[in-house]
Structure 1
Amino acid sequence: MILVVDDEEELLEELVEMLERRGLAVVGESRPRAALDLLALRPEIAVVVTDWRMPGLDGLALMRAARCDPCARRDRRFFVMTGHEGDAGLAQALAAGAAGVLRKPFAPEELIAALEDRAYET
Protein backbone atom coordinates (compact mmCIF):
# COMPACT_ATOMS: atom_id res chain seq x y z
CA MET A 1 0.00 0.00 0.00
CA ILE A 2 1.11 3.55 -0.76
CA LEU A 3 0.50 6.63 1.40
CA VAL A 4 0.58 10.03 -0.32
CA VAL A 5 1.03 13.04 1.95
CA ASP A 6 0.60 16.58 0.66
CA ASP A 7 -1.02 19.64 2.23
CA GLU A 8 -2.16 20.82 -1.22
CA GLU A 9 -5.51 19.04 -1.38
CA GLU A 10 -5.90 19.33 -5.14
CA LEU A 11 -2.51 17.77 -5.89
CA LEU A 12 -3.12 15.09 -3.26
CA GLU A 13 -6.40 14.09 -4.92
CA GLU A 14 -4.76 14.02 -8.36
CA LEU A 15 -1.93 11.77 -7.18
CA VAL A 16 -4.24 9.38 -5.32
CA GLU A 17 -6.59 9.10 -8.30
CA MET A 18 -3.71 8.57 -10.73
CA LEU A 19 -2.25 5.75 -8.62
CA GLU A 20 -5.67 4.16 -8.11
CA ARG A 21 -6.30 4.20 -11.89
CA ARG A 22 -3.13 2.16 -12.23
CA GLY A 23 -4.58 -0.43 -9.87
CA LEU A 24 -2.44 0.44 -6.87
CA ALA A 25 -3.63 0.39 -3.28
CA VAL A 26 -3.26 3.98 -2.08
CA VAL A 27 -4.44 6.28 0.68
CA GLY A 28 -4.00 10.04 0.89
CA GLU A 29 -3.56 12.36 3.84
CA SER A 30 -3.25 16.15 3.82
CA ARG A 31 -2.15 16.52 7.45
CA PRO A 32 1.41 15.35 8.16
CA ARG A 33 0.80 14.52 11.82
CA ALA A 34 -2.27 12.47 10.90
CA ALA A 35 -0.12 10.69 8.29
CA LEU A 36 2.37 9.81 11.03
CA ASP A 37 -0.47 8.32 13.09
CA LEU A 38 -1.66 6.40 10.04
CA LEU A 39 1.80 4.92 9.55
CA ALA A 40 1.78 3.67 13.13
CA LEU A 41 -1.63 2.05 12.66
CA ARG A 42 -1.19 0.62 9.16
CA PRO A 43 1.92 -1.55 8.83
CA GLU A 44 0.80 -2.55 5.32
CA ILE A 45 1.88 0.88 4.09
CA ALA A 46 5.14 0.04 2.34
CA VAL A 47 5.73 3.30 0.44
CA VAL A 48 5.25 6.93 1.43
CA VAL A 49 5.24 9.73 -1.14
CA THR A 50 5.42 12.98 0.80
CA ASP A 51 5.71 16.65 0.04
CA TRP A 52 8.75 18.27 1.61
CA ARG A 53 7.34 21.65 2.68
CA MET A 54 4.22 21.29 4.80
CA PRO A 55 3.03 23.20 7.86
CA GLY A 56 3.74 21.71 11.27
CA LEU A 57 5.82 18.75 10.11
CA ASP A 58 7.78 18.73 6.89
CA GLY A 59 8.39 15.64 4.77
CA LEU A 60 11.88 14.97 6.10
CA ALA A 61 10.68 15.28 9.70
CA LEU A 62 7.79 12.94 8.87
CA MET A 63 10.23 10.41 7.46
CA ARG A 64 12.54 10.63 10.48
CA ALA A 65 9.68 10.38 12.98
CA ALA A 66 8.19 7.38 11.20
CA ARG A 67 11.53 5.60 11.29
CA CYS A 68 11.93 6.27 15.04
CA ASP A 69 8.86 4.16 15.80
CA PRO A 70 10.27 0.86 17.13
CA CYS A 71 7.30 -1.00 15.62
CA ALA A 72 7.64 0.59 12.17
CA ARG A 73 8.40 -1.38 9.04
CA ARG A 74 12.11 -1.27 8.36
CA ASP A 75 11.62 -1.78 4.63
CA ARG A 76 9.24 1.17 4.18
CA ARG A 77 10.42 3.45 1.37
CA PHE A 78 9.98 7.23 1.29
CA PHE A 79 9.89 9.48 -1.75
CA VAL A 80 10.03 13.24 -1.25
CA MET A 81 8.34 15.70 -3.62
CA THR A 82 9.57 19.26 -3.80
CA GLY A 83 9.37 22.28 -6.00
CA HIS A 84 11.70 24.43 -3.92
CA GLU A 85 14.85 22.58 -2.93
CA GLY A 86 18.01 22.86 -5.03
CA ASP A 87 20.72 20.25 -5.44
CA ALA A 88 21.89 20.64 -1.83
CA GLY A 89 18.33 19.99 -0.64
CA LEU A 90 18.03 16.93 -2.84
CA ALA A 91 21.25 15.58 -1.36
CA GLN A 92 19.88 16.32 2.12
CA ALA A 93 16.71 14.30 1.42
CA LEU A 94 18.71 11.35 0.13
CA ALA A 95 21.07 11.55 3.11
CA ALA A 96 18.03 11.51 5.41
CA GLY A 97 17.00 8.21 3.87
CA ALA A 98 14.66 9.08 1.02
CA ALA A 99 14.60 6.43 -1.71
CA GLY A 100 14.12 9.19 -4.24
CA VAL A 101 13.25 12.82 -4.80
CA LEU A 102 10.70 14.06 -7.33
CA ARG A 103 10.96 17.68 -8.44
CA LYS A 104 7.58 19.36 -8.88
CA PRO A 105 6.05 19.57 -11.32
CA PHE A 106 6.69 16.01 -12.45
CA ALA A 107 4.97 13.79 -14.96
CA PRO A 108 2.91 10.89 -13.57
CA GLU A 109 5.27 8.52 -15.37
CA GLU A 110 8.15 9.77 -13.23
CA LEU A 111 6.34 8.78 -10.05
CA ILE A 112 5.33 5.40 -11.47
CA ALA A 113 8.90 4.73 -12.61
CA ALA A 114 10.21 5.55 -9.12
CA LEU A 115 7.65 3.29 -7.47
CA GLU A 116 8.30 0.39 -9.83
CA ASP A 117 11.95 0.37 -8.90
CA ARG A 118 11.12 -2.36 -6.38
CA ALA A 119 8.06 -4.38 -5.32
CA TYR A 120 5.99 -2.43 -2.80
CA GLU A 121 2.57 -4.02 -2.82
CA THR A 122 1.52 -5.80 0.35
Structure 2
Amino acid sequence: MSESVSLLLVEDEPHILREMARALSRRWSPVLQAGSAQEAMALLTAHPEIAVLVTDIRMPGENGLELAMRALAGRGAADALEVVLISGHAMPRDLDDLAPGGRLEFVQKPFRLAELDAAVTRAHERAVTRRNGT
Protein backbone atom coordinates (compact mmCIF):
# COMPACT_ATOMS: atom_id res chain seq x y z
CA MET A 1 0.00 0.00 0.00
CA SER A 2 1.65 3.21 -1.12
CA GLU A 3 -0.54 5.72 0.70
CA SER A 4 -1.71 5.37 4.29
CA VAL A 5 -5.50 5.35 4.34
CA SER A 6 -7.13 4.63 7.67
CA LEU A 7 -9.50 1.71 7.88
CA LEU A 8 -12.37 1.60 10.38
CA LEU A 9 -13.69 -1.86 11.23
CA VAL A 10 -17.12 -2.07 12.92
CA GLU A 11 -18.38 -5.34 14.41
CA ASP A 12 -20.52 -5.85 17.53
CA GLU A 13 -19.06 -9.30 18.34
CA PRO A 14 -15.73 -8.64 20.12
CA HIS A 15 -14.04 -11.92 19.11
CA ILE A 16 -14.94 -11.43 15.43
CA LEU A 17 -13.77 -7.79 15.62
CA ARG A 18 -10.40 -8.89 17.05
CA GLU A 19 -9.90 -11.62 14.45
CA MET A 20 -10.80 -9.38 11.51
CA ALA A 21 -8.63 -6.55 12.84
CA ARG A 22 -5.69 -8.88 13.31
CA ALA A 23 -6.06 -10.27 9.78
CA LEU A 24 -6.56 -6.89 8.09
CA SER A 25 -3.76 -5.17 10.02
CA ARG A 26 -1.23 -7.42 8.28
CA ARG A 27 -1.74 -5.30 5.17
CA TRP A 28 -3.72 -2.22 6.18
CA SER A 29 -2.57 0.30 8.74
CA PRO A 30 -3.96 1.78 10.81
CA VAL A 31 -7.03 -0.37 11.50
CA LEU A 32 -9.31 1.45 13.93
CA GLN A 33 -12.03 -0.59 15.66
CA ALA A 34 -15.56 0.11 16.89
CA GLY A 35 -18.11 -2.17 18.52
CA SER A 36 -21.19 -0.16 17.57
CA ALA A 37 -22.48 2.35 15.04
CA GLN A 38 -22.42 5.08 17.69
CA GLU A 39 -18.75 4.41 18.45
CA ALA A 40 -18.01 4.29 14.71
CA MET A 41 -19.61 7.70 14.07
CA ALA A 42 -17.53 9.20 16.88
CA LEU A 43 -14.36 7.78 15.29
CA LEU A 44 -15.38 8.97 11.81
CA THR A 45 -15.88 12.47 13.20
CA ALA A 46 -12.60 12.46 15.14
CA HIS A 47 -10.59 10.95 12.27
CA PRO A 48 -11.46 12.53 8.91
CA GLU A 49 -8.56 10.57 7.38
CA ILE A 50 -10.63 7.37 7.62
CA ALA A 51 -11.32 6.44 4.04
CA VAL A 52 -12.51 2.82 4.25
CA LEU A 53 -15.35 1.78 6.55
CA VAL A 54 -15.81 -1.99 6.93
CA THR A 55 -18.99 -2.79 8.83
CA ASP A 56 -21.18 -5.73 9.69
CA ILE A 57 -24.75 -5.05 8.62
CA ARG A 58 -26.52 -6.78 11.52
CA MET A 59 -25.79 -4.99 14.78
CA PRO A 60 -27.96 -3.94 17.71
CA GLY A 61 -29.31 -0.41 17.48
CA GLU A 62 -28.30 1.28 14.26
CA ASN A 63 -27.33 -1.39 11.73
CA GLY A 64 -24.31 -1.26 9.45
CA LEU A 65 -26.29 -0.21 6.39
CA GLU A 66 -27.82 2.72 8.28
CA LEU A 67 -24.34 3.60 9.59
CA ALA A 68 -22.93 3.52 6.05
CA MET A 69 -25.68 5.75 4.65
CA ARG A 70 -25.31 8.24 7.53
CA ALA A 71 -21.51 8.29 7.23
CA LEU A 72 -21.61 8.79 3.45
CA ALA A 73 -24.21 11.55 3.75
CA GLY A 74 -22.26 13.25 6.52
CA ARG A 75 -19.05 13.23 4.54
CA GLY A 76 -20.63 14.34 1.25
CA ALA A 77 -20.21 13.15 -2.34
CA ALA A 78 -16.72 14.64 -2.78
CA ASP A 79 -15.28 12.87 0.26
CA ALA A 80 -13.05 9.82 -0.09
CA LEU A 81 -15.08 7.54 2.23
CA GLU A 82 -15.74 4.06 0.83
CA VAL A 83 -17.73 1.30 2.54
CA VAL A 84 -17.46 -2.49 2.69
CA LEU A 85 -20.63 -4.11 4.07
CA ILE A 86 -20.43 -7.60 5.59
CA SER A 87 -23.40 -9.86 6.23
CA GLY A 88 -24.36 -13.48 6.66
CA HIS A 89 -27.60 -12.68 4.85
CA ALA A 90 -28.38 -11.83 1.25
CA MET A 91 -27.01 -8.64 -0.26
CA PRO A 92 -29.19 -5.64 0.52
CA ARG A 93 -30.99 -3.92 -2.36
CA ASP A 94 -28.93 -2.87 -5.35
CA LEU A 95 -25.87 -1.26 -3.81
CA ASP A 96 -25.46 1.16 -6.70
CA ASP A 97 -28.94 2.57 -5.98
CA LEU A 98 -27.97 3.09 -2.34
CA ALA A 99 -24.71 4.88 -3.06
CA PRO A 100 -24.12 5.75 -6.71
CA GLY A 101 -20.54 5.85 -7.87
CA GLY A 102 -19.48 2.47 -6.50
CA ARG A 103 -18.93 3.61 -2.92
CA LEU A 104 -20.26 0.32 -1.46
CA GLU A 105 -18.89 -3.22 -1.59
CA PHE A 106 -20.63 -6.29 -0.19
CA VAL A 107 -18.96 -9.39 1.30
CA GLN A 108 -21.09 -12.40 2.25
CA LYS A 109 -20.35 -14.32 5.47
CA PRO A 110 -18.77 -16.73 5.84
CA PHE A 111 -15.97 -15.27 3.78
CA ARG A 112 -12.36 -16.05 3.13
CA LEU A 113 -9.85 -13.41 4.14
CA ALA A 114 -8.84 -13.05 0.49
CA GLU A 115 -12.42 -11.98 -0.37
CA LEU A 116 -12.49 -9.37 2.36
CA ASP A 117 -9.03 -8.11 1.45
CA ALA A 118 -10.03 -7.83 -2.23
CA ALA A 119 -13.10 -5.76 -1.31
CA VAL A 120 -11.01 -3.50 0.96
CA THR A 121 -8.42 -3.15 -1.82
CA ARG A 122 -11.06 -2.03 -4.34
CA ALA A 123 -12.51 0.41 -1.79
CA HIS A 124 -9.03 1.72 -0.98
CA GLU A 125 -8.26 2.28 -4.67
CA ARG A 126 -11.49 4.26 -5.13
CA ALA A 127 -10.75 6.29 -1.98
CA VAL A 128 -7.26 7.19 -3.20
CA THR A 129 -8.60 8.11 -6.63
CA ARG A 130 -11.33 10.30 -5.15
CA ARG A 131 -8.90 11.83 -2.62
CA ASN A 132 -6.44 12.71 -5.39
CA GLY A 133 -9.19 14.09 -7.59
CA THR A 134 -8.38 11.75 -10.47
TM-score by length of 1: 0.85
Aligned residues: 119
2:15 to 10, 13, 19: 10
RCO (CA 8 Å, sep 6+): is it higher in 1 or 2?
1
Aligned in 2, Cα 1:120/1:17: closer, same or farther, shift over 3 Å? farther
**RMSD in angstroms over aligned alpha carbons?**
2.3
- Structure 2 runs not aligned, ≥5 long: 1-5
User: Are residue 62 (structure 1) and residue 67 (structure 2) matched?
Assistant: yes
Q: For residue 77 of structure 1, what is the aligned residue in structure 2?
A: 82
1:96 to 84, 95, 98: 98
Work out whether residues 66 and 72 of structure 1, in 8 Å CA contact, stay in contact via their aligned partners in 2.
Answer: no
Classify the secondary structure of the residue corresponding to 1:69. Answer: helix
Query: After the TM superposition, which parts of structure 1 deviate over 4 Å for at least 4 consecutive aligned residues?
Result: 70-73, 119-122
Work out whether residues 90 and 101 of structure 1, in 8 Å CA contact, stay in contact via their aligned partners in 2.
Answer: no
Aligned in 2, Cα 1:49/1:70: closer, same or farther, shift over 3 Å? closer
1:52 to 36, 52, 57: 57
Percent identity between the aligned chains?
A: 33
TM-score by length of 2: 0.78
Shift of residue 119, structure 1, vs aligned partner: 6.1
Work out whether residues 51 and 59 of structure 1, in 8 Å CA contact, stay in contact via their aligned partners in 2.
Answer: yes
Q: Using the alignment, how far apart are the partners of 1:99 and 1:9 within structure 2?
A: 24
Work out whether residues 94 and 101 of structure 1, in 8 Å CA contact, stay in contact via their aligned partners in 2.
Answer: no
Single out whichever of 6-15 and 111-120 deviates more from structure 2.
111-120
